[in-house]
Amino acid sequence: MNALTVQIYDTTLRDGMQGEGVSLSLAGKISIARRLDEFGVDYIEGGYAASNPKDMEFFREIRRKNLKRARVAAFGSTRRAHTRVGEDHGTKQLLAAQTAVVTIFGKSWRLHVRDVLRTTENENLAMIRDTVAYLKQRGRQVIYDAEHFFDGYKDSPAYAMATLRSALEAGADCLVLCDTRGGGLPHEIADITRAVVKALAAPVGIHCHNDGELAVANSLEAVRAGARQVQGTINGYGERCGNASLCAIIPNLVLKLSRACRCQDNLKELMDLSRFVDDALNLPHGRQAAYVGESAFAHKAGMHANAVEKNPRSFEHVPPETVGNERRILISELSGSSNILLKAIEMGETLSKSSPEIRDVLNKLEQLEKKGYQFESADASFKIMIQKILKRHKPFFGLEGYRVIVEKRGKHEPCLAEATIKVKVGHEIEHTAAEGDGPINALDNALRRALTRFYPAIAKVVLTDFRVRILDPEEATAAKTRVIIESSDGKDTWGTVGVSGNIIEACWEALVDSVEYKLFKDEQPAAKPKLLKRPAKRRA
Amino acid sequence: MNALTVQIYDTTLRDGMQGEGVSLSLAGKISIARRLDEFGVDYIEGGYAASNPKDMEFFREIRRKNLKRARVAAFGSTRRAHTRVGEDHGTKQLLAAQTAVVTIFGKSWRLHVRDVLRTTENENLAMIRDTVAYLKQRGRQVIYDAEHFFDGYKDSPAYAMATLRSALEAGADCLVLCDTRGGGLPHEIADITRAVVKALAAPVGIHCHNDGELAVANSLEAVRAGARQVQGTINGYGERCGNASLCAIIPNLVLKLSRACRCQDNLKELMDLSRFVDDALNLPHGRQAAYVGESAFAHKAGMHANAVEKNPRSFEHVPPETVGNERRILISELSGSSNILLKAIEMGETLSKSSPEIRDVLNKLEQLEKKGYQFESADASFKIMIQKILKRHKPFFGLEGYRVIVEKRGKHEPCLAEATIKVKVGHEIEHTAAEGDGPINALDNALRRALTRFYPAIAKVVLTDFRVRILDPEEATAAKTRVIIESSDGKDTWGTVGVSGNIIEACWEALVDSVEYKLFKDEQPAAKPKLLKRPAKRRA
């Protein structure tokens, strides 16, 4: 291992699972492990061998998957106090996991030895020594996680160092210094790591938590002080404020600190990896996340958008494509007229910066934003608004009325949803009905059924994303709702928005915009598809 | 100003507004400014004087509010190139804002001078000098934001320092070093800040962005290197990845670095301030946020919950109440049986850790979590589930059926919602109907109307929060939906959950649990209200 190479140790599947709202099926864990392997992390901590039958199933399954590069680690603790290690349940489970690597944590801080383990300082040293030695004798690579190392060191450097020496003398392959409470400061982490690296001839790792919003900085400072392994999770999932986010650490190491990581050639896959894990966890993507957030390279202020046009380096610390992200120019009341102009030109309009319509669009935008509309991921609704202001809007159909009925006939009966709809196209009336999985799905189905006779292209449109946001939650069930829909016809993808106190009406608005945008788009031979910005995929 | 005192400069109302999805009405800006003043920040940057009429209105309004301690700053730039400063539009607007403080930014980086301003290095120095001098002559306190200072310094220390000297010689009261692209590393920020503090006899400030997830660390390192003012935003709102979060910086300064801040006596208000700003922006609260997130002191792993019971310091870097937060013990499949036991005991059940029912609860919990249920903020639904497993559940009413109708009669007609409901209490049937602002509100109203005759206490229950989460957004309008409702009767607050492919049915489940929990609770004279954990207020 080159001195400037840093090993990436992913613990999304173990420490990440302790995050609030985070859980995964076995299949989900396997799919994330395979993805991490493809990305090129060095270690994948698969779970806590003794805590959870699902984790043991994971270890069984993953053995059959023949990962390409990553080594799988089972996680556990040192033996219990005053137990023979060969008879310790946790240690048995660790071996039963049959992984090449085992990672065990032990106590570094006297407070924990006294108050949590309730044993003696010497017994704790023996627990570390016995467990590491036992696992080494059975052929495992042993990574020793020195839990609460920094707090322990601040309390008693001598005792904290004694715990590390116990692990090292028993054969541990790597000593990982953990800031388990997550409260350490960068200079403390740097100083203490440096002292350990200097004192011990052993590979040292770092494991930080984010309770002071410093986990990424603390991890980098530890690397600068000599740590050669960084433990963290994708997107920073983890207990309390989370673990150190590998999605920020890896690009910082590679692009800023010039360290080598085995995954560095796949850096362009970083944003996809981040989203893949969010999707598997069914959690929203962190919009503001460094490097991988949708907003990470989004420019809203007119002046910044303008500067980026002149030279992207002016407001971008790295090129967005380095990490698989992309630049976005946002529309909002802070937008300069140049942002609006750009959208109008995309639509084939011939306006200039001084056209009075630009001011009309900005005014309308401000009004709608006050009502709760947002166009940042509803580009198609924004363009339809521009058409309306330019008096270029062509309604493709008229609504005569709709009715949605949801009915349940008894506690254990299914809940049925049906929508009827009456639309007018030219002089023709179409009156039809459809069922659905819920009221919104039923209305969506009915609208498509009604229009497909006139506009067969509608049949190709599928809704690819659907987001509901309660705008004033304290109004409870009477709250105003914003619905954002993403649609696709296989070629393009577009976003639309609706806002109403009635969720059905909000969906209706977004559905109508989606259909009208599709029909408008198909009529434009001149529209350049490459200019149609792909709306951001997911958001909170 | 004591050398160890740090001034807090809030720019939520200016730089924060450049965040994606962030916007505020004038009233919203005023209410945040007043709250920041009460909290005790030193400066409130109210807006960009030249960019937005709303910001000018803000300056007019805020003058009448007589803030107690904070000074209001208007933000702007140095004059345009080759313009006389007295005739520069932006500079006129800055004066028109009539604030005691003006903050102007100027360019420190030759790349920006050349590619964005498209002027000469000397003219840029003159722009800085002229604008600062002109504003000083008109009696303003002038804070000089050295935009891109760190990137500029890395490119040319001599030129970057020359820009600072221009500002200082013209009378600037504070020189703020900005990491505008947000890509600097802690050690770079520390080294460069130290060099500036050493070279210039002037107060220095720091303004960081979070593009490397390092803004908090960078701000702290700058303070350790001698900076005496920190600029940031509440909750880290801001363009791209956001600004440095004052909600992490302030407690780190006060509790970890022993610096004095004028707001330090109000540290217990920090979480409320954080939520107040989220609420005003109508954005979800960052669950994992350091110090102020709902999860910041939430313990999920059984082992951690157990250790915290023995000694809270074992897994908490600061006491949660220091920043107005609170400890929470979470229920999930990772929960040990002791968490379940605790809930059962709260409900007056007499179980022990070895009772087989504990295992049944854990199994059921796992099944429901797989379906998309989450009980972390739906404590009441969790307790009702325990009752059902213990065969203690008493259904207070039976559902004979409901029907919800949403109807719209034409494009410009209002969208009406009506619900009918038939319930059975004992041998009596109640069949009634109600309208509402949308289908869910109508169903809620109908259910209350039907039950109030039998259970008058229901009339006192109000729904205080309502959250909808689409669980599989790629299924679009047929997606499964999770609804979480928070209810209150003025004395207690409780959360309930429902999951279904039909949003109405998901709401129904949560509404029924809410009503049943209220009635169950009222029947328990022994229930100790202090044990009823308040569910977290808002989440993403």
d(CA A337, CA A102) in angstroms, rounded, equals: 59
Q: What is the mean pLDDT of residues B165-177?
A: 98
8 A C-beta contact, residue A70 and residue A44: yes
Spans of all domains in chain B: 7-281, 298-370, 397-454, 459-540
Q: Would the CB atoms of A112 and B407 count as touching at under 8 Å?
A: no
Of the residues A213, A409, A538, the best mutation for testing chain B's interface (the one with the most B CB atoms within 10 Å of its CB) is: A213
Contacts of A78 (CB under 8 A, 6+ apart): A104, A105, A106, A107, A124, A127, A128, A130, A131
pLDDT surpasses 80 at B478: no
Q: Which residues of chain A have pLDDT under 70?
A: 1-3, 282, 301, 331-338, 472-478, 525-540
Is the pTM of the predicted complex or chain greater than 0.90? no
pLDDT tens across A343-368, in order? Answer: 777 777 777 777 888 888 888 887 88
Q: For residue A367, what pLDDT is reported?
A: 81
Q: What is the mean pLDDT of chain A?
A: 89
d(CA A136, CA A301) in angstroms, rounded, equals: 58
8 A C-beta contact, residue A48 and residue A75: yes
Q: For residue B135, what pLDDT is reported?
A: 98
Q: Would the CB atoms of B290 and A405 count as touching at under 8 Å?
A: no
Six token digits for residue A189: 């982490």
> What percent of chain B lies above the pLDDT cut of 70?
93
* Closest Cα in chain B to A416: B502
d(CA B483, CA B491) in angstroms, rounded, equals: 23
Residue A462 at interface with chain B, using a CB cutoff of 8 Å: yes
Alpha helices by DSSP H, listed for A26-75, are 26-39, 53-63
CATH number of the structural domain A7-281: 3.20.20.70
Q: Would the CB atoms of A438 and B474 count as touching at under 8 Å?
A: no
Q: For residue B537, what pLDDT is reported?
A: 37
Q: Would the CB atoms of A240 and B295 count as touching at under 8 Å?
A: yes
Contacts of B454 (CB under 8 A, 6+ apart): B397, B425, B428, B430
Which residue among A115, A300, A304 places its CB closest to the CB of B310? A115
Q: Would the CB atoms of B289 and A471 count as touching at under 8 Å?
A: no
Please choose, from the candidates A520, A503, A400, the residue with its C-alpha nearest in 3D space to the C-alpha of residue A458. Answer: A520
DSSP state, residue A463: E
Q: Would the CB atoms of B20 and A295 count as touching at under 8 Å?
A: yes
Residue linked to tokens 């270690």: A43
Domain topology for A459-540: Double Stranded RNA Binding Domain (3.30.160)
d(CA B231, CA B243) in angstroms, rounded, equals: 9
Say whether A459-540 and A397-454 share the same fold. yes
Residue B491 at interface with chain A, using a CB cutoff of 8 Å: no
Contacts of A432 (CB under 8 A, 6+ apart): A420, A421, A446, A449, A450
CB half-sphere exposure, B304, CA atoms < 13 A: 25
Chain B residues close to A55, C-beta within 8 Å: none
* Closest Cα in chain A to B24: A370
Q: Would the CB atoms of B288 and A441 count as touching at under 8 Å?
A: no
pLDDT tens across B302-353, in order? Answer: 778 778 878 889 999 999 999 999 888 776 655 666 677 777 777 777 777 7
Residue A363 at interface with chain B, using a CB cutoff of 8 Å: no
pLDDT tens across B448-470, in order? Answer: 999 999 999 998 888 877 777 77
Q: Does domain B397-454 have CATH number 3.30.160?
A: yes
For B311-315, the CB contacts below 8 A with 24+ separation are B311/A111, B311/A115, B311/A116, B313/A111, B314/A111, B314/A112, B314/A115, B314/A116, B315/A180, B315/A181, B315/A240
Alpha helices by DSSP H, listed for A225-301, are 246-251, 270-281
Size of interface A-B (CB pairs under 8 A): 399
pLDDT tens across A161-211, in order? Answer: 999 999 999 999 999 999 999 999 999 999 999 999 999 989 999 999 999
User: Strand A428-436 to strand B7-10: parallel, antiparallel, or no bridges (unpaired)?
Assistant: unpaired
pLDDT surpasses 60 at B1: no
Q: What is the mean pLDDT of residues B183-190?
A: 98
pLDDT tens across A216-257, in order? Answer: 999 999 999 999 999 999 999 999 999 999 999 999 999 999
Q: For residue A527, what pLDDT is reported?
A: 43
Q: For residue A248, what pLDDT is reported?
A: 98
Please choose, from the candidates B169, B174, B102, B165, the residue with its C-alpha nearest in 3D space to the C-alpha of residue B138. Answer: B102
